Structure 1
Amino acid sequence: MAASTTKPTHPHGIAELCDDGARLYAIALRTGRIARADVEAAPCLIEFALLHPDPDAADWLRPVAPSAALAQHLHPIEREIQERRRHSLALAECFEPFMDISAQGPSTNHAITVLEGVNRINASLDLATAECRSEVLTVQPGGGRPEDILSRSLERGLSVVDRGIRIRTLYQHTARHSQSTLAYAERMAGDHVEIRTLEELIERLIVFDRTVAFIPAQDDRMVALELRHPGLVEYLAKVFEQLWTRAAPLLEEIKYEPTPDGISGVQRSIAQLLVEGHVDDSIARRLGMNVRTCRAHVAKLSATLGSTSRAQLGYLISRSGILDQDS
């Protein structure tokens, strides 16, 4: 059998467009077309239907308008949402007779329930979403979120908003650079939805009606805790409110106070975590960025303070006074 000459696809989805793809798509939009040979480094542009053949010249490609491309990729997500809603209604009808039996017996709610596995966690979240009546509070640490997670979040979010329920969500500042997150925010925009960002957040948290909360129980998020103890849930809601007052609306520009020696607000946060003894992986996770970006900030911080080693950097940070300023 002859070897296939088909070029391998890029290992990323449309929401994580590669650097070459983003650069070449931008060029095509600015100039109106781009040579087919120039996009060999980014076959994803054709796979994702961001470029199409020029009918007047076989060696050229024309860009698809971003609004049209976005609509094309959102369509299957919206269709999936409709199918899941129909499935939800069918499930509700199936379990309605058992709900009546449960209502006649003693309460089986537990203060803390351990949820193991993604399916069990999602099922409990879906149930809490269906039972929600007034408010949802969510904390989503990290940068941009994967497409499949955003799709499920969009499904849950729209089902809540359609019922007039208020949603408040906290992301980290790094999510401001994620096109998929911004597209999700645009789809969710409305009077009942508010999204803010903060430089550093606690772990993931979802609170429904201040009566039930969900938090991860493991770093891999394969085990979660469903909390129904009134004291625990109220405590987590108060933590959310404190973070919310410090956060900035997603679509507003973040203004940092001036810092000495050109050190940015992000680098000052990294400096604080370095002094506390955190390693690069831990710092990146807490600030919602990848490790490579974190190390680039550490290198800039070292160059600014004149450090030649990690141990010396901690000493110079302490002496510089940059941590004595208000963030």
Structure 2
Amino acid sequence: MRRRPLEKSHSHPQEPLCVTGRELYAAALRSGRLKREELADAPCVLDLGLLAPDPAEPATLLPVQPSTALGRLLQPLENRILHNRKAAVALTETLEPFMALSGHDPASQAVTVLDGLDRINSTLDQTVMECQEELLTLQPGSGRAPYLLEDALRRVEPFFGTSVRMRTLYHHTARHHPSTLAYVERTMPEGIEFRTMEQLPERLIIVDRRAAFIPISDDRKIALKIEHPGLVGYLAGVFNQFWSLARPWSEATPAPVPSGITSTQLSIARLLVEGHVDEAIARRLGMNVRTCRAHIAKLATTLGSGSRAQLGYLIAQSGLLDTPGS
């Protein structure tokens, strides 16, 4: 049986009843009837069964009482909820006997794999929300995107004016990143401490020495939440070691070394001699590869090198790496 043109699918908002449909249904309730042709732009009223044909006059539609329509529409949803509830009970009864078998190994629950940014962020939000004493953050890179800094501000704002101590480590290059500068200016007066270093490992967040978060994929879309006391304590010790070597944000960046080579180029020289490729050097120093290669080119010009192999030799022979503190 062919459908009438007024019953064809119609583009509607993501809601059960469009604005036109609401107006027509209200009019039908007030007047007690509605002409079928008036529903050409609101087939959703018929789809929901809010109007029914008048047996005596099929071209006229009669309103169905809202309570009647609601009961009929809710019934399949309630059936689905009941089905899911029964499925949940069945799963619980199936797996409950095995829980006792795994209870002897608490360490197995000490590391949780978080797959996907949504799960990482929601878990991190919940854990940070429960922070009571200390929040340690290691953020490598030349600077963080504004939306990431907005997330960071949202997480730490509840601790402004409290006894929670918050410390954050950045690369030196973050001192020149506009969004990061704005974030530091906003939060430092609230008690967050900032320091920077030339080189940093991967991202690390530690909450109250009871939970730590680290990425385990290059795109940082898979992370670990670590709750083993020994592991978290070790990572906190690593953070404190970096912190003790880092430069407070209020101190100026280091001046160039006597030969005219900057401290950044000195760090690059050290990593070149160690055999690191450009991409690895850029990642270690929190800069993009193009900037890293520009520094390498300046090094080569300063030392008079004509090739990559010669540059490594000249760095080793120049005595640059013998500079105190290098």
Q: TM tier, shorter chain?
A: 0.5 to 0.7
Alpha-carbon distance between aligned partners in 2 of 1:176 and 1:192, rounded to the nearest angstrom: 18
Query: Is the 2:188–2:194 Cα contact (8 Å) retained in structure 1?
Result: no
Shift of 1:164: 3.5
Query: Is the 2:161–2:190 Cα contact (8 Å) retained in structure 1?
Result: no
Deviations along 1:224-282, whole A, 9 cap, x unmatched?
A: 000011111111111111111111122321234x6342111111100011111111111
Alpha-carbon distance between aligned partners in 2 of 1:191 and 1:140, rounded to the nearest angstrom: 19
Alpha-carbon distance between aligned partners in 1 of 2:141 and 2:150, rounded to the nearest angstrom: 17
Describe the shift of the 1:303–1:236 C-alpha distance in structure 2 as closer, same or farther (beyond 3 A): same
Q: Is residue 218 of structure 2 the alignment partner of residue 226 of structure 1?
A: no
Q: Name the aligned partner's letter for residue 239 of structure 1.
A: V
Equivalent in the alignment of 2:298: 300
Query: Is the 2:215–2:224 Cα contact (8 Å) retained in structure 1?
Result: yes
Q: Name the aligned partner's letter for residue 181 of structure 1.
A: T
Q: Structure 1 unaligned segments of length 5 or more: list them.
A: 1-104
Query: Is the 1:204–1:216 Cα contact (8 Å) retained in structure 2?
Result: yes
Equivalent in the alignment of 1:139: 138
Describe the shift of the 1:162–1:223 C-alpha distance in structure 2 as closer, same or farther (beyond 3 A): farther
Equivalent in the alignment of 2:118: 119
Deviations along 1:198-224, whole A, 9 cap, x unmatched?
A: 111111000000111000111110000
SS in 2 for 1:190: helix
Q: TM-score, normalised by structure 2?
A: 0.65
SS in 1 for 2:242: helix
SS in 2 for 1:301: helix
Provide the alpha-carbon RMSD of the alignment. Answer: 1.9
Alpha-carbon distance between aligned partners in 1 of 2:222 and 2:144, rounded to the nearest angstrom: 19
Equivalent in the alignment of 1:194: 193
Equivalent residue for 1:291, pick from 289, 292, 305: 289
Alpha-carbon distance between aligned partners in 2 of 1:129 and 1:230, rounded to the nearest angstrom: 17
Equivalent in the alignment of 2:243: 244
Deviations along 1:137-194, whole A, 9 cap, x unmatched?
A: 0000001111111110110011233543111000000000011101111121235310
Q: Name the aligned partner's letter for residue 290 of structure 2.
A: R
Alignment of 1:45-124 (within 5 A): 110-124=109-123
SS in 2 for 1:156: helix
SS in 2 for 1:262: coil
Equivalent in the alignment of 1:318: 316
Alpha-carbon distance between aligned partners in 1 of 2:107 and 2:232, rounded to the nearest angstrom: 18
Alpha-carbon distance between aligned partners in 2 of 1:255 and 1:196, rounded to the nearest angstrom: 13
Alpha-carbon distance between aligned partners in 2 of 1:249 and 1:166, rounded to the nearest angstrom: 16
Q: Name the aligned partner's letter for residue 278 of structure 1.
A: H
SS in 2 for 1:123: helix
Q: TM-score, normalised by structure 1?
A: 0.65
Alpha-carbon distance between aligned partners in 2 of 1:162 and 1:261, rounded to the nearest angstrom: 46
Alpha-carbon distance between aligned partners in 2 of 1:169 and 1:217, rounded to the nearest angstrom: 20
Query: Is the 2:107–2:228 Cα contact (8 Å) retained in structure 1?
Result: no
Describe the shift of the 1:155–1:162 C-alpha distance in structure 2 as closer, same or farther (beyond 3 A): farther
Equivalent in the alignment of 1:262: 260
Query: Is the 1:217–1:225 Cα contact (8 Å) retained in structure 2?
Result: yes
Q: Name the aligned partner's letter for residue 146 of structure 1.
A: A
Alpha-carbon distance between aligned partners in 2 of 1:283 and 1:145, rounded to the nearest angstrom: 19
Equivalent residue for 1:278, pick from 276, 279, 282: 276
Q: Structure 2 unaligned segments of length 5 or more: list them.
A: 1-99
Equivalent in the alignment of 1:152: 151
Shift of 1:296: 1.0
SS in 2 for 1:169: strand
Q: Name the aligned partner's letter for residue 261 of structure 1.
A: S
Identical amino acids, percent of aligned pairs: 57
Equivalent in the alignment of 1:214: 213
Q: Name the aligned partner's letter for residue 138 of structure 1.
A: T
Alpha-carbon distance between aligned partners in 2 of 1:319 and 1:219, rounded to the nearest angstrom: 35
Alpha-carbon distance between aligned partners in 1 of 2:110 and 2:161, rounded to the nearest angstrom: 30
